[in-house]
Amino acid sequence: MDENWEMEEDPWWDFNTQCIRFAVEDDEERYVVSISQIALNDYFSTEDTKDAAFDNFNNDIESILSLAVEFIESHEPNDDGIYFIASEYFEQNYR
């Protein structure tokens, strides 16, 4: 991951979508990324809970941030301006 990218703030939980959201920024812009609880918990074979999703996210944050940057650089945000990483993309491209 390019060193100009960094996580802007602590991740937060989106109750409506059951996703972890976090903001990353490069030197010029801020991007909001969302990863579903299902994507994280299925990939790591953990309990399907919010707490397990946060544990999975925090335990491998650098790899997840790298994946998020790759996703931002190769995809458009959804209609809400969010870069949503679903299970299929996560499983095919993680690590």
Parse the chain into domains and list their residue ranges. 6-93
* Full-model pTM: 0.90
Rounded Cα gap, residues 75 and 59, in angstroms: 25
CA distances to 33, 45, 48, 65 from 78, in Å:
10, 27, 25, 19
Q: State how beta strands 82-85 and 30-36 pair.
A: parallel
Residues 59-87 have pLDDT tens digits of 999 999 999 999 999 999 999 999 999 99
Q: What is the CATH number of domain 6-93?
A: 3.30.160.140
Ramachandran angles phi, psi of 37, nearest 5°: -55, -40
